[in-house]
Amino acid sequence: MNRLNRSADSFALSTSRLAMVIALAGGVLCVSSAALGQNGRLRDRIAERMGQKQEQKQEKGAESEVKTGEATVAAGVSAEQRTLFDTSADYSAKLAGRAVLVQHKGQTLYQRYNNNWRAELPHPLASGTKSFTGVAAMIAVQEGLLTLDEKACLTISEWKDDPVKSQITVRNLLELSSGLQPDSNPGARKGSALLGDGGKPGFAGAIDRTGRDDWFGQAVAAPMTGKPGEQFAYGGNHFYAFGELLQRKLKAKGYKGTVWDWYTEKIFNPIGLKVGFVGKDKKGNANLPGGCGLSAREWVKFGQFILNQGSWTTEKGEKVTIIKPELLAECFKNSANNPSYGLTWWLLRSGDTTSSVADGIGREGLSEVLKRRNFDQQSKPITTPDGKAVEVYMAAGLGKQRLYVLPQFDLVVVRFAENTSAGVKFDNRAFLEPILKAVAPEAFVEKKAGEGEKKK
């Protein structure tokens, strides 16, 4: 009983530990991540209400093999590789990390869960959710629903008579350069639009956001703070406005479901990805910029789909093309206003880091917030020992949630963490380098002087 009381006190007094918003039929359940980590029965009740209990029972044998704090390593992984994977997982765990999963050439080589997290629990992706939308948009292009350079006002008729909004293109929305006020919450603290948390610590702001009546409608009505195509401004309204545009396009074609239903039909179901939860407003609009939760095992499927250039191999061994490679590749082209950002994906190939761009975009108060809580303000470029830049596609969320896709090395890595001050020093390069040395030693292990000549 004392332990339960302490958990309750922690829930009530520590807003930095409010980390989970679970969208349920008929309402939203808000729970403490500390409680999730400490109370197994609470976790089970939550999972049952989310409709996932049966799935967990079916996978119980596999899940029980992955214990908190213990690594699960694939057969064939050498002791040296194991040590390198452990190095990355130890680094992550010290900085509030909860999960590390490494998948190489389609095989899960390593996974570990720390700080009271479990393999089957869906974790908030925060802004990692954003990267689904770029892929969905290109599928919409493939199906003839839209083009990247069409004027959004052709669908969002409210913008037709506005001399500035009428110039917004679909590409502007996806590159976060629409000129719309990035976040619709007028009471948010300076810079908090980047975090998408309503100005509150941790993921607690997401709880506020569940009370909105109509995210999509609010974005359409948002004021302009710049001219379309002239400035990168990180925030949720670009995504909500795109959601409204796509919703109208789908409705015009006779589609009866929601935008999130369409994402599910076009992306998640074809690759067997089971969504843990997604936040929705009172109209049923999904929180496209930051409301999804997945387990590490599910998020890695999305990364593998990206690595496969838009194709997926079914359980029967059949290869299915979900999106043409040349269309998917549009997501990973540097945008004009931010060389480290494509269409809803961070790009680390150029040597720029997420923070080096975000800190310099000129939004009042943004740098201070970033330095305290979010992106990688001092991260060095990820390069091979001979100085060649490594191409990395990254879906990134508040609290250092990470999905890394490295095409050059046939590698996908997932990292989850609690959003606390302990994790602010997390660095992409420091985390990835040991993993890269493990899977690609020929490229990442420096040779001693004269070693090359001896082998000739």
Torsion of CA 38, 39, 42, 43, to 10 degrees: 60
Name residue 68's amino acid: T
For helices 79-94 and 428-439, angle between their N-to-C axes, nearest 10 degrees: 170
Nearest to 396 by CA among 279, 190, 234: 234
pLDDT at residue 447, rounded to an integer: 61
Q: CA nearest 244: which of 153, 135, 130?
A: 153
Q: 96-123 burial by CB neighbour count: b if 16+ within 10 A, else e? A: bbbbbbbbbeeebbbbbbbbbbbbbbbb
Pick from 411, 371, 428, 440: which is nearest to 107 by CA? 411
pLDDT, residue 24, reads 33
Contacts of 106 (CB under 8 A, 6+ apart): 304, 410
Q: How far apart are CA 137 and CA 125, in angstroms?
A: 19
| Half-sphere exposure of residue 307: CA atoms within 13 angstroms, side-chain side | 25
Name the residue among 289, 278, 238, 297 with its Cα closest to residue 398. Answer: 289
Strands 319-321 and 311-313: antiparallel
User: For the chain, which domains are there?
Assistant: 123-442 (3.40.710.10)
Cβ burial of 388 (10 Å; 0-12, 13-18, 19+) is exposed
Per residue of the chain (456 residues), give pLDDT as tens.
Answer: 444 444 433 433 333 344 443 333 333 333 333 333 344 444 434 443 444 443 444 344 344 456 678 899 999 999 999 999 999 999 999 999 999 999 999 999 999 999 999 999 999 999 999 999 999 999 999 999 999 999 999 999 999 999 999 999 999 999 999 999 998 654 333 333 333 333 333 444 443 444 478 999 999 999 999 999 999 999 999 999 999 999 999 999 999 999 999 999 999 999 999 999 999 999 999 999 999 999 999 999 999 999 999 999 998 899 999 999 999 999 999 999 999 999 999 998 654 445 433 323 333 334 444 443 344 444 567 888 888 889 999 999 999 999 999 999 999 999 999 999 988 899 999 999 999 999 999 988 776 555 554 444
Looking up tokens 């990688």 gives: 376
Q: Please report the DSSP string for 436-451 in residue order.
A: HHHH-HHHHSPPPTTH
Q: What's residue 424's pLDDT?
A: 87
pTM as predicted = 0.80
